[in-house]
């Protein structure tokens, strides 16, 4: 299949690895921003095949994982209401809130439904005019345009019983927060290609220049990751810090004009809390004043919710790249995908889930001779 088999070619992977090995002269710490990239890295053992001087740090690029506990509890409160049909993507249903999750709400009688598109939720609202239908809109810049389009459509069609519980976050402010942290060890970034396919790359040059870090826009297949690492290491070895697009088959520097126009119309930038990290200024979106009637948080007045993370869960440190999942005492014992303490063990893009799924249970070093592609 085009763009799948070609980007998993073991011979090309070995050539890229040889190139990386040949240029590295000192230790470098790189952060992949996206959880999808993390799963590729762990699944194919890419981190174990790189030179020992190159460390890959897993960043806060999992949208489910960074959705704050307060928003999860608001979702639980709304979904528990008898007049509500609560719609969500499936990976949010097991994310733990305070004492329960959406699966528990459904088992207690709440009408919680898994959908595959926000437009599915809008159709449910059309089919159930006597019920309030809420879609749980989470994610980075990648999922924000379709959620914005759904609200736009609801307003255009006059569907008054639909609303959106918004928890959208933005990548560039997160990179800024990471670089400003006193404990930051990151020297270069592999930026998320799908985010840049929407937003373009215009927000990154200022960050690269201010923090003197190379930022390489990277895809999600093994060769994408290796090419991103190769370009980042080359810049670091040369003392450079620019933005490079290593994913031109999907990313244009100016992004997607139609998606950007929709975002500008429906959303406005706001401060946003990130689970395990805290509030990052200007790091999220909320519905603009024009669309405020479709904001579930306002519609159902879910305020005054006090939350507290489980003391045993160290997912915040994982999300900040300060801890590898298997270095957490609860990993694989009291915290598993079936009984998670935190969202990083639940999400299909969570770092803890990747380490558990691919049996990286207590391995810190492994042989670096095998191929990174299955």
Tens of pLDDT along 63-85?
Answer: 888 898 899 999 999 999 999 99
CB-based contacts of 259, cutoff 8 Å, min separation 6 = 145, 198
Can you give the pTM of this predicted structure?
Answer: 0.89
Looking at per-residue pLDDT, the higher value among 117 and 344 belongs to: 117
The angle at the Cα of 192, spanning 204 to 252, to the nearest 5 degrees, equals 65
At 364 the pLDDT is: 44
131 pLDDT tier (thresholds 50, 70, 90): very high
At 365 the pLDDT is: 39
What pairing do the DSSP bridges indicate for beta strands 111-114 and 267-274?
unpaired
**Mean pLDDT within 182-205:** 96
DSSP 8-state class, residue 176: H
At 371 the pLDDT is: 45
Supply φ then ψ for residue 352, to 5 degrees: -65, -40
At 362 the pLDDT is: 64
Q: pLDDT for 134-192, tens place per residue?
A: 999 999 999 999 999 999 999 999 999 999 999 999 999 999 999 999 989 999 999 99
Q: In what order do the strands lie in the sheet with 111-114?
A: 111-114, 84-88, 132-139, 162-169, 278-287, 267-274
């Amino acid at each position: 299949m085009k763009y799948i088999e070609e980007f998993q070619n073991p011979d090309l992977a070995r050539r890229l690895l040889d190139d990386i090995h040949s240029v590295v002269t000192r230790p470098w710490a790189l952060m992949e921003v996206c959880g999808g990239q993390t799963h590729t890295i762990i699944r194919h053992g890419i981190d174990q095949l790189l030179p020992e001087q190159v460390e890959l740090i897993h960043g806060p690029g999992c949208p489910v994982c960074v959705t704050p506990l307060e928003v999860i509890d608001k979702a639980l409160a709304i979904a528990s209401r008898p007049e509500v049909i609560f719609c969500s993507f499936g990976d949010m249903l097991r994310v733990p809130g305070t004492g329960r999750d959406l699966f528990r709400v459904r088992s207690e009688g709440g009408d919680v439904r898994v959908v595959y598109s926000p437009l599915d939720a809008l159709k449910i609202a059309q089919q159930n005019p006597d019920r309030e239908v809420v879609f749980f809109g989470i994610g980075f810049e990648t999922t924000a345009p379709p959620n914005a389009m759904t609200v736009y459509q609801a307003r255009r069609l006059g569907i008054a019983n639909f609303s959106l519980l918004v928890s959208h976050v933005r990548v560039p402010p997160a990179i800024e927060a990471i670089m400003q942290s006193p404990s930051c060890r990151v020297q270069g970034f592999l930026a998320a290609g799908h985010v840049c396919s929407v937003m373009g790359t215009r927000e990154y040059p200022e960050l690269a220049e201010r923090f003197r870090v190379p930022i390489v826009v990277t895809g999600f297949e093994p060769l994408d990751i290796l090419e991103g690492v190769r370009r980042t290491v080359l810049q670091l070895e040369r003392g450079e810090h620019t933005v490079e697009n290593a994913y031109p088959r999907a990313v244009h520097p100016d992004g997607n004009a139609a998606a950007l126009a929709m975002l500008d119309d429906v959303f406005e930038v706001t401060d946003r809390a990130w689970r395990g990290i805290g509030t990052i200024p200007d790091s999220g979106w909320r519905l603009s004043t024009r669309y405020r009637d479709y904001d579930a948080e306002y519609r159902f007045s879910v305020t005054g919710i006090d939350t507290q993370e489980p003391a045993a869960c160290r997912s915040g440190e994982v999300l900040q790249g300060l801890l590898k999942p298997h270095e957490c005492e609860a990993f694989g014992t009291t915290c598993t995908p079936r009984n998670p303490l935190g969202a990083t063990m639940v999400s299909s893009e969570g770092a803890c889930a990747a380490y558990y799924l691919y049996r990286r249970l207590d391995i810190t070093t492994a042989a670096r001779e095998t191929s990174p592609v299955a």
